[in-house]
Amino acid sequence: MTKYYALGLMSGSSLDGLDMAYCEFQKSDDNWTYEIIVAETISYTEEWILTLKELPTATATKVLETNTSYGKLLADQINTFVKKHNIKPDIIASHGHTIFHEPASGFTFQLGDGQSIALNTGIKTISDFRSKDILLGGQGAPLVPIGDELLFHKFDFCLNIGGIANISFIKNSKRVAFDICGANQILNHLSLQLGKPYDDKGNIALLGKMNPKLFEKLNKDVYFLKSYPKSLSNQYVKNYFIKIVDNFNCSIEDKLYTVTKHIAYQINEAIKDFPAARLLITGGGAHNDFFVKAIKMETKHQLIKPDNITIDFKEALIFAFMGVLRVLGETNCLASVTGAIKDSSSGIVYYP
């Protein structure tokens, strides 16, 4: 039985930091098992948060310059992490930080030069996991369903609540998945207006009340009328959902309450037609007690919260896994999920 050791990196749209997960994978009789050996989230400096927020509207020169410097930042963090925990990854699998995601226009861009990471760490690095799928006619997202399929298959639904909420499940014997709606990206935007990076356990939202007009307007967005496969970009969330919320005249508390209820409603809309089953919930939203309660009130499904390391690092784990699959030349991107013309082994491999 061969063991594979991979370090997965993930930076989400909520900008809460860089997730790093050092993982062991084993394959026996076509069945994969995993262990997250050690994991950490490294917070961004205020300067980097501002840079990542502003980059979608920056000049091409600035984007290219930052791609290299962000790759060096990742490499520095990896070197510190590897030394601190005395570990030896076979590979690094880096999702990067999404700056542009426009599958309808045929492109996507995740910041963080893979060659810079490989050279500065001395470790083989896989990055740019989305572009190949988009070139094959897919959405390039969501990507984590390959991990749901091979590592978390005992759950009927896998829901991740990060900056954007997404879900995957089996339908007609095939894995399907899609982005449901904006999530922590909107909630954190509101919390920041009260001087808080996020609404801890949903305690601020609990002080608010439902604004029916805001709730109705959020739910009327044309994105919800589209059939899957479909995906949301950070820009879409900002330009439509956050704009709606910002233009509404009510308290931040009421906005947080209403947006939380909106997200819970849309999650249930995605799976309400299926028989009651086991729903795994991960991502930062799983720590928001009010949020989880709102979902429970909406759905008939059984919500299952795993251990905290799985809640926080499932995506980093799966990108580590995707890197292993890419090196082995095995499928790591599912056409049934993205709408591409075929499955693919996606990601660009960089050598030191």
211, 343: one domain: no
* pLDDT (0 to 100) of residue 29: 87
Q: Tens digits of per-residue pLDDT, 108-131?
A: 999 999 999 999 999 999 999 999
- How many domains are contained in the chain? 2
226, 324: one domain: no
Q: Tens digits of per-residue pLDDT, 163-221?
A: 999 999 999 999 999 999 999 999 999 999 999 999 999 999 999 999 999 999 999 99
Tell me what the mean pLDDT of segment 321-333 comes to.
98
303, 208: one domain: yes
> Cα 172–338–174 angle (5° rounding)?
15
Q: Tens digits of per-residue pLDDT, 291-315?
A: 999 999 999 999 999 999 999 999 9
* pLDDT (0 to 100) of residue 269: 98
127, 205: one domain: no
165, 117: one domain: no
d(CA 118, CA 124): 6
> Cα 310–151–186 angle (5° rounding)?
45
d(CA 21, CA 36): 6
* pLDDT (0 to 100) of residue 338: 95
d(CA 21, CA 7): 6
Q: Tens digits of per-residue pLDDT, 72-108?
A: 999 999 999 999 999 999 999 999 999 999 999 999 9
Q: Which of 23, 116, 36 is nearest to 77 (CA)?
A: 116
33, 126: one domain: yes
CATH number of the domain encompassing residue 69: 3.30.420.40
d(CA 321, CA 249): 45
The amino acid present at 105, given as its one-letter code, is S
Residue 1 has pLDDT above 80, yes or no: no
Tell me what the mean pLDDT of segment 231-254 comes to.
95
225, 343: one domain: no
**What residue numbers bound the domain in which 168 lies?**
148-309
15, 107: one domain: yes
* pLDDT (0 to 100) of residue 180: 97
Q: Tens digits of per-residue pLDDT, 10-35?
A: 998 778 899 999 999 999 888 999 99
154, 287: one domain: yes
220, 287: one domain: yes
If one counts every other C-beta atom within 10 angstroms of the C-beta of residue 223, the result is 17
Contact criterion met (CB below 8 Å) for 230 and 140: no
234, 115: one domain: no
- Mean pLDDT of all residues belonging to the chain: 96
282, 182: one domain: yes
